[in-house]
């Protein structure tokens, strides 16, 4: 536990869809991170910080809105290179985030060229700095979490598409859930160390589950049968390009690892469908009714108003497409 504890992800009320998306991209950072849409005051940074505690390094780095390109990628000292024959590199935000979470609040307000650069590095896991024939390369493997309020401006479609997963939050929260959210926040603010100690067993369960899933990931094949289902549904959704297919397949495999499976199942594919398609889908429905029969109405209601679809100051997350099936993780209850 760090000197300045973060609100534990396991203590977040509801927000199961968002927590699942965060954990999946932690299991496989090649998914490409999570873009969270929603109004202000939704505790998006709280959830992102909680995710950092589930990673080995626990590193959480924020990219400020006013950052320059040098602040992001780092700088090279040309005088040292030319005069002393050595490359002297001053690390930027990307280097500091290696192994942890890189959080970009209001990513839609960043200059497009910085967003593009950021997404390139997130996809490759490597940052290359070149200047006047001198270069330096370093590892930059992190879980990218971006947030945006669509009312303050949209991301260009080309950049939007490059975020792996997308979850939309709503600020309308039921009174019971609002009370739980506020009570836990007050408890945390009054005694952060004590609150985190109270939830440490649940946090450890989440850490171990993510770690086991990361280890198991490579043994789960990206099989042709799962790929065929996904490509058909991407075509039916009318998405442009092929990134949705790849992200969806990777996310389905991460979900299989998350639930302890040995292969990608149809349930895994359904579980992550909306995450992969929401920001890429055109006007065409996700899939035909023959592929996804109408769900049982009773199944659409959360079993517990305080623990089902809500949030921690935020949102019911975006609903899954009609008929989609998802195994919602059993998030720890209050001790």
List active site positions: 243
Cα dihedral sign, 160-216-327-294: positive
Helix (H) or strand (E) holding 36: strand 34-37
Q: Of 16, 133, 128, 24, give the one whose Cα is nearest residue 74.
A: 128
DSSP state of 30: G
Residue 145 in 3-state DSSP?
strand
Q: Count CA atoms within 13 Å of residue 231 on its CB side.
A: 8
Quote the tokens at residue 197. 């100690």
Q: Do residues 160 and 105 lie in contact, with contact meaning Cβ atoms separated by under 8 Å?
A: no
Query: What does the angle CA 258 – CA 232 – CA 319 come to, to the nearest 5 degrees?
Result: 50
Run of H or E residues at 95: helix 93-96
Q: Do the Cβ atoms of 292 and 305 come closer than 8 Å?
A: no
| CA–CA separation, 278 and 234 (whole Å) | 11
């Amino acid at each position: 536990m760090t000197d300045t504890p973060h609100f534990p992800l396991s203590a977040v009320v509801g927000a199961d869809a968002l927590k699942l998306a965060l954990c999946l991209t932690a299991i496989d950072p090649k998914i490409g991170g999570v873009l969270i849409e929603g109004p202000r005051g939704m505790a998006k940074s709280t959830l992102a910080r909680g995710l950092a505690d589930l990673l080995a390094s626990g590193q959480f780095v924020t990219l400020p809105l006013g950052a320059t390109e040098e602040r992001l990628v780092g700088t090279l000292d040309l005088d040292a290179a030319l005069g002393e024959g050595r490359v002297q590199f001053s690390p930027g935000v990307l280097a500091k985030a290696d192994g942890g979470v890189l959080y970009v609040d209001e990513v839609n307000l960043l200059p497009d060229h910085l967003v593009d650069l950021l997404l390139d590095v997130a996809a490759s896991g490597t940052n290359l700095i070149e200047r006047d024939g001198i270069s330096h390369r370093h590892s930059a493997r992190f879980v990218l979490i971006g947030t945006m309020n669509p009312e303050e401006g949209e991301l260009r479609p080309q950049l939007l598409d490059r975020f792996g997963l997308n979850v939309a939050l709503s600020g309308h929260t039921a009174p019971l859930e609002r009370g739980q959210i506020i009570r836990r926040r007050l408890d945390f603010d009054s005694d952060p160390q004590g609150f985190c100690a109270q939830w440490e067993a649940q946090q450890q369960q989440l850490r171990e589950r993510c770690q086991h899933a990361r280890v198991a990931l490579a043994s789960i094949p990206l099989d042709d049968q799962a790929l065929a289902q996904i490509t058909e549904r991407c075509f039916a959704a009318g998405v442009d390009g092929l990134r949705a297919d790849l992200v969806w397949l990777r996310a389905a495999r991460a979900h299989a690892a998350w639930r302890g499976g040995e292969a990608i199942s149809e349930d895994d594919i359904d579980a992550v469908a909306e995450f992969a398609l929401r920001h890429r889908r055109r006007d065409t429905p996700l899939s035909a009714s023959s592929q996804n029969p109408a769900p049982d109405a009773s199944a659409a209601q959360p079993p517990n108003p305080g623990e089902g679809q809500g949030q921690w100051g935020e949102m019911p997350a975006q609903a899954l497409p009609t008929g989609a099936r998802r195994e919602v993780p059993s998030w720890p209850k209050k001790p």
